[in-house]
Amino acid sequence: MNSVREIGALERSAGPGRGADRLARRLGLASLGLGVAQLVAPYRVAQLAGVDRSVRAIMIIPALGLREIGHAAALLGVRRPGRWAWTRVAGDAMDLALLGRAVAHTCGLRRVRAAAVTAAVAGITVADLYTAIRAYREGERTVRDGAVHAVGAITINKSPAEVYRFWRDLENWPRFMYHLESVRVTGDRRSHWSAKAPGFGRMRRTVEWDAEIVEDTPERIITWRSLPDADVTNWGQVRFLPGPSGRGTEVRVELDYTAPGRAAGVAIARLFGEEPRQQLRDDLRRFKQVMETGDVVRSEGSPDGLSMRQQMKQRPARPVRADELVSV
């Protein structure tokens, strides 16, 4: 697929390791353990839950195990797992309904076991609900603080080695990243950045910061972050993966940053059509053009320059009129 595939652009925390995310990962480990147990030993799980005499329960437990493993994949496989805690809350509601039915239709020791498991699942539900609500509140707070998270991907018709070499030369970035004015390499892994903040004319200002590369695996991954006292606190990562059927390279980019002016900066960016989703989509398209053609491709109807004011002037292209032809 040779067009931008937008994975998402969400305004969330710019710093890793939020409390809700840590809790969500622990819940993911719990889901993994429970899911494996339900798949490997469904009858034993049924015994513990007091439903071992139910043929239907023995059939349902492996399916619940697959669901738990799905929860684990979501909670352990993403960088911001807190928002996925709601999937566990939904699963808990299903489990409580099934266990409530078991308590009502069993007796003796089996009913005691089912009641005990029901109480345990209720406690887990409280933990899941707390994690989900905390993740939501943290997300709301970081939106107000102007923190932004954006993710995107595109397929380039070049080898991973070529794409990596171009990206690793940081001074190439202003060629396709509209808001960057310049990147100057100051050391083996350090650089000085200058960028345009959102706005038009005198409202637009320049922000600067120093950054360092913290992970560099040739042809696979580059991770960078801003240094202390930056005008824009940011973190980014790009991965280079073999394209579909081994053709080309899939470039996956993830960015975290605090918008200049924080919440007001986010509002101004959206006002001028420069919100994270649009920025990343356009930057990746330009990157693809530069890699495959050597420059940003423009039609007769495209404006000169990359400023938003110029972009708003674009119009449908038209054939050249006869009176515009210049004889050679």
pLDDT per residue as tens digits for the range 47-86: 888 887 777 878 888 888 898 898 888 888 766 676 677 8
Share of the chain above pLDDT 70, in %: 70
Q: Answer with the residue of higher pLDDT: 305 or 69.
A: 69
The CATH topology of domain 145-311 is Alpha-D-Glucose-1,6-Bisphosphate; Chain A, domain 4 (3.30.530)
What is the rounded distance in angstroms from the CA atom of residue 276 to the CA atom of residue 254? Answer: 11
The DSSP 8-state label assigned to residue 244 in this structure reads: G
Identify whether the C-beta of residue 154 lies closer than 8 Å to the C-beta of residue 284: yes
Cα→Cα distances 246→6, 219, 288, 292, Å: 21, 14, 17, 17
What is the rounded distance in angstroms from the CA atom of residue 148 to the CA atom of residue 138? Answer: 13
What is the structure's pLDDT at 58? 80
6-20: pLDDT as tens digits: 333 333 333 444 567
Helix (H) or strand (E) holding 95: helix 85-104
Q: Residue 21 corresponds to which tokens in the numbers above?
A: 């995310």
Domain boundaries, the chain: 16-143, 145-311
235-276: pLDDT as tens digits: 889 999 998 887 899 999 988 877 655 444 444 444 444 566
What is the rounded distance in angstroms from the CA atom of residue 19 to the CA atom of residue 117? Answer: 28
What is the rounded distance in angstroms from the CA atom of residue 175 to the CA atom of residue 296? Answer: 8
pTM over 0.85: no
77-126: pLDDT as tens digits: 766 676 677 888 888 888 888 888 888 888 888 888 888 888 988 998 89
Which residue in 49, 85, 45, 47 sits closest to 62, CA to CA? 45
133-150: pLDDT as tens digits: 877 665 544 444 456 777
What is the rounded distance in angstroms from the CA atom of residue 295 to the CA atom of residue 288? Answer: 9
Please compute Rg for the chain using Cα positions: 26
Which residue in 190, 193, 169, 170 sits closest to 181, CA to CA? 193
What is the structure's pLDDT at 249? 94
